[in-house]
Structure 1
Amino acid sequence: MPELMSAVIHSDAFATDQPTLTAHDDLALRPWTDADAATVYAAFQDPDIRHWHVRTAESVEQVRQWIVRWRSAWACGNGQWAVTSNGEIAGRIGLRQSDLTEGVTELAYWTLPARRGHSIAPRAANIVTRWAFHDIGFDRIELTHSVHNAPSCRVAEKSGFRFEGTLRQAGRHSDGRHDMHLHARLRTD
């Protein structure tokens, strides 16, 4: 059946290799490699990262499988980047649940404990958001977090994601379902 409207983002937008994204400071966002598996595994031993994520890392080998899936998801418009500061991994940022027809994606991130409080996540969010709007053509990027995750709310606010409301019982965490704050940025913001 013919579509009434064409997709906002053409399917070949993700036909090339996932790029490394940079800004004019010490941060770079690069695709994950197998060599990063031990760092991701160590990150998921942090109680805060474990609490705010549904998954848990049981081994470095399991994380290697995640990295393979992250790389293969690129073709569908979902990207996961290692956030590096002066060449060292400081966290993760990603676009997930991308809908190329609607031009909407969701931002997700975490920061290693030693790098928290240094604006790593907001700076990385701005880098990937600028790229997603201007180079790929997304119209809307959403960000959700538990209403109990105040640091994540600060990241959203510092990154220019406007608060749009509360989604009741919309997220699962290690201690059960949580209400989730919804923030978003539009290409026109």
Structure 2
Amino acid sequence: MPFTISDIVAAGALARRAQPTLPVPGGLVLRPWSSADAPAVYEAFQDPVIQRWHARVADSESEVRGWIEGWRGAWEEERDAYWAVAEGGSDVVVGRVALRGIVLADGQAEVAYWTMPGARGRGVAPRAVVALAEWAFGEVGLHRLELTHATANEASCRVALKTGFAVEGTKRSAVLHEDGWHDMHLHARVAGV
């Protein structure tokens, strides 16, 4: 039985091209991860703030290199897309931004991000999220981007609101962190709105 609605984005829209490097206002770029970035990711995951909001820890740079390989594979499989947020001139990693849980047929994905401790308070996350959202809507043709964060993570809520992700509600007891179950705010942006 055929579907009455065509796929929003055709399969292969990501995999048939190389993951792009995207400019970000203020001298940043979103670029694909390389194995040379393993020390920066390892350092990031030693930060107590990142550890608080992530269920994953990094035990070694070798382990992180495996993550990076997985991130590259996720692009090829069109299920997730991860970028390093880097200083344009020095190429120093200042954060990460990602599209997770990509469903091209439905035109949807979830935005995720973190910043290195030394980059916080400089607008890195909001600028990276806006650049990623503009690319996802304008170049890929996605229709809806969601963003979730623990209700206790006020910094992440500020990023979501600054970048036009409207609050849609609270998912009760939705994510388990090391300190227990957390309610999650659900934010979203829709193409053209």
1:107 aligns with 2:111: yes
Displacement after TM superposition at 1:2 (Å): 2.7
1:122 aligns with 2:126: yes
**Structure 1 residue corresponding to 2:151, chosen from 147, 150, 154:** 147
Match of 1:84 in 2: 86
Displacement after TM superposition at 1:24 (Å): 4.2
The amino acid across from 2:50 in the alignment is I
Instruction: Report the TM-score when normalising by structure 2.
Output: 0.95
Q: Percent identity among equivalent residues?
A: 49
SS at the partner of 1:185?
strand
Distance (whole Å) between structure 2 residues aligned to residue 173 and residue 186 of structure 1: 29
Distance (whole Å) between structure 2 residues aligned to residue 47 and residue 24 of structure 1: 28
Q: Structure 1's 24 and 49: CA in aligned 2 closer, same or farther, altered over 3 A?
A: closer
Distance (whole Å) between structure 2 residues aligned to residue 65 and residue 21 of structure 1: 24
Distance (whole Å) between structure 2 residues aligned to residue 6 and residue 78 of structure 1: 22
Distance (whole Å) between structure 2 residues aligned to residue 127 and residue 120 of structure 1: 11
Superposition RMSD in Å = 1.0
Distance (whole Å) between structure 1 residues aligned to residue 177 and residue 54 of structure 2: 6
Displacement after TM superposition at 1:7 (Å): 1.1
Match of 2:12 in 1: 12
Gaps of 5+ in 2: none
Distance (whole Å) between structure 1 residues aligned to residue 143 and residue 172 of structure 2: 25
Distance (whole Å) between structure 1 residues aligned to residue 87 and residue 159 of structure 2: 17
SS at the partner of 1:9?
coil
Structure 1 residues 143-163: Cα deviation after superposition (integer angstroms, max 9, x where no partner): 000000000000001111001
SS at the partner of 1:13?
coil
Structure 1 residues 32-91: Cα deviation after superposition (integer angstroms, max 9, x where no partner): 000000110010000000110011111111111100110010021421000012321110
Distance (whole Å) between structure 2 residues aligned to residue 42 and residue 125 of structure 1: 22
Distance (whole Å) between structure 2 residues aligned to residue 112 and residue 25 of structure 1: 17
Structure 1 residues 1-189: aligned runs within 5 Å: 1-14=1-14, 15-75=16-76, 76-86=78-88, 87-189=91-193
Distance (whole Å) between structure 2 residues aligned to residue 171 and residue 130 of structure 1: 28
SS at the partner of 2:12?
helix
SS at the partner of 1:125?
helix
SS at the partner of 1:129?
helix
Structure 1 residues 122-176: Cα deviation after superposition (integer angstroms, max 9, x where no partner): 0000000000000000000000000000000000011110011000111121212
After the TM superposition, which segments of 4 or more aligned residues of structure 1 sit over 6 Å from their partners?
A: none
